[in-house]
Amino acid sequence: MSIGMNIRHDSAVTHVAGESVFIDDRPEVRGEVHVGVVGSPIARGRLISIDSKEALAHPDCLGVYTAADFHAKAWGTIKHDQPFLVVEEISYMQEAVCLIASKRRDSVEAIKKLIKVKAEETPGVFSIDEAKAKGEVLYRAASPFMQGNVDAALAQAPHCLKGVFRCGGQEHFYLESQAAIAYPLENGQVEVHSSSQHPSETQRVVAEALGIPFHQVVCVVKRMGGGFGGKESQGAPIAAYAALVANRLKRAARIVLTKDQDMMITGKRHPFQNEYEVGFDGDGRLLAVKAILQSDGGAYLDLSSSILERAMFHLDGAYYLPNVHIEGVCYRTHHHPHTAFRGFGGPQGNMTIESILEDVAHFLKKDASEVRRINLYSGQNLRTPYGQVLENNLLPEIHERLLKSANYQKRLKELTEFNSKRTGKIRGISVTATKFGISFTARFLNQANALVNLQLDGTLQVSTGATEMGQGVNTKIQQIVAHAFGLPPESVRVMPTSTEKNHNTSPTAASSGSDLNGAAALLAANRIKNRLIPLARAMFNGLSFDPTLEFEAGKEADKEADKEADTVSDSGIQFQEGRVLDSLSGKSIRLQELIQTAYQNRISLGSYAHYKTPDLGFDKTKVTGRAFNYYTQGMAVSEVEIDEYTGEMKVRRADILMDLGRSLNPGIDRGQTTGAFIQGMGWVTSEHLVYDEKRNLLSHSPTTYKIPNVQDTPREFHVDFIENPHNDRNVHGSKAVGEPPFLLGTSVWTAIKHALSYRANGKEIHLVSPATPEVILMELTRLKGM
């Protein structure tokens, strides 16, 4: 019984022992070269020339490559609008201008410095307001999300507030920077090992860059040292750089960006600037919400359109909005193209409604948790702003249980008394929620395939399109397949992801890696079992075998295996603890004996399966259909303490309660929950991207960019899961966990807002995100009238 157990991460031991192999751990092969990227010295303008004479004279330099060396000039996940290398127009600081190839790694930087890039600078656009004024629109949502009559409800509402919510970007800060190695093979083939969340896209982008058919390229992903969305799309051009050099020199080519280079070159989480108007009654019930979500997409589209739409999908948060109007616009600026990041726009939408509710409570002088309670989705047949009915809703129960287990009311009273003593410190407490839609909003991406091979010794090899970036997807797939055959998890080995084994895969993103690939692996496992069951039944009935004859039941089983089968054909035959049991007769045989007999009777012991999430389909133009398969729900209560003289903030305590259905692996889910919360907390408190006047990123290293460390984690930290046996929308009743808890980090930011309310003297609180100590101190100074 592997499902629901705390099976350790499949790489836990090798990680600790330092034996896990990442891209740059692969030993160099004979003649291997190192690739460097030369970036633009300006943020916007025209490329005049590239002088590479001195670089080519360097004894270690093997070549300099420009846009002219690429077959396809541009790439893009949704729209091919981003050049591999600058052709003429420069659109952001450090945009890749050319590549160099060096015999030695330690010569790369020296050779790069010998490249002379001449460019003509023109004024750039660096804010949403500037882009808005100049009409620099990258994407506008096809249709607004509307429900009820928002204008009439606003006109009749007893109270109204207007405002602008602003949140900044965020650096992914994965431990392994963008990296790839390309190996040229015979007949013009190339094998790429990439730190990528999307091997199939990497395969396609490399093929297009080189001008060769897709079948000439194989992309392999063993694991990544973190991804968080930053390797969903932006790892592909990095792999193409290595592949181009390998193709030209006919030598293996390696590219590994330094942390500084990676942070300066790659895109971040999208900054948002959301305008809103809200109408509410004296109890704090939201009567109408009108919002325009505005994002900074950077220089090229990347995934910005989908991210904007997911922000719109999550503007309602966990709260029912009877009258609502939501629009979305993504603006083009001359920043690095912003890209996917854990939550994929959901946090920027969800945080807006949580900020609004905190402001409503402050305006009415009410407890914000009570304002949230009366606005929670509660009851039957409640529709979201995009028309989907909320099913299996546990939000009211989670709210009640969490506030009780966190001693919310007692602590609220205590911190109110504490704040009245004027000790130079203030405390705040807040509860926020997540109702995260699980599925890709692009319907075609909700598919996966898996190959399961049952070996003669009773062990299994499983290949899927999922990529392991530390989140434990391989371990969950291992558990699913082991459970199907009644074997211990160590009997299953999940193989490196490769496009030659699993084709046209979707990215491991949208929290759907385990959902899609686990379901596909289970289908493949069940097909093998459906071939074995007739044979087992025959063996239990005493059938003897003639090796010169075909086993008729086996032929029928092979036919049945070609059909879609999400369950086994005979529930009377059970696979348990390495044996196969007949519940009718009580007889049993070793699984290995059954496998050997199947092999001798030419019954296939391997199977491929394709899975697609059922009942999905959303029309963006008409705003109709089912956008999500289900929702992962949860809430967090966070308490903070602020030093009024420095603005320094500490999280005293955090309590989280999540609905994860029937957890496949509670230990891994707990790790994902705590990690996501801390990363979300970092986004809203300390992770500040700083640029100079030329738009050079100043915070491009661990010394200048502040992610949470152990001293920033809550002094007291509680995480629990609510039992929910009613989820039948996913494999084994489980729910996705990768992104939903990230949104709960918002509770730290709203707790800061609550703390500031004790010094507001009736004024509105103007707090941006991230709420760094400087931001907090400046707002405290303003509120105190100093």
Beta pairing class for 33-39 and 253-256 = parallel
What is the distance between the alpha carbons of residues 550 and 558, in angstroms, rounded to a whole number?
12
User: 123 CB contacts (<8 Å, ≥6 apart)?
Assistant: 44
User: How far is 139 from 137, CA to CA, in rounded Å?
Assistant: 6
Residue 336 DSSP label: P
CA of 412: how far to CAs of 228, 370, 724, in Å?
Answer: 35, 12, 29
In the numeric block, the tokens 């890209």 are attached to 339
CB 36 within 8 A of CB 253: no
Residue (of 639, 681, 653, 711) closest to 771 by Cα position:
681
Q: How far apart are CA 775 and CA 646, in angstroms?
A: 10
| Residues 6+ positions from 415 with CB-CB distance below 8 Å | 427, 428, 429, 639
739 is a catalytic site residue: yes
> Helix or strand or coil: residue 618?
strand
CA 369/CA 430 separation, integer angstroms:
7
Name the residue among 537, 517, 514, 478 with its Cα closest to residue 608: 517
For residues 633 and 515, give the distance between their C-alpha atoms in angstroms, rounded to a whole number.
16
- Give me 138's structure tokens: 């990258």
- Residues 91/39, Cβ–Cβ less than 8 Å: no
Which residues make Cβ contacts (< 8 Å) with residue 536, sequence separation at least 6? 573, 580, 582, 589, 594
Q: Choose the catalytic residue: 176, 208, 641, 739.
A: 739
Which strands make up the sheet holding 447-454, listed edge to edge? 492-494, 460-464, 447-454, 606-612
Compute the distance between CA of residue 529 and CA of residue 58 in angstroms, rounded to an integer: 62
Tell me how crowded residue 532 is: count the other CB atoms within 10 A of its CB: 27
Q: Are strands 217-221 and 190-194 parallel, antiparallel or unpaired?
A: parallel
Nearest to 325 by CA among 388, 279, 389, 385: 385
DSSP 495: P
Distances (CA, A) of 304 to 267, 269, 338, 395: 11, 10, 7, 30
Contact 98, 87 (CB under 8 A): no
β-strand pairing of 716-722 with 649-659: parallel
Query: Which are the catalytic amino acids?
Result: 739
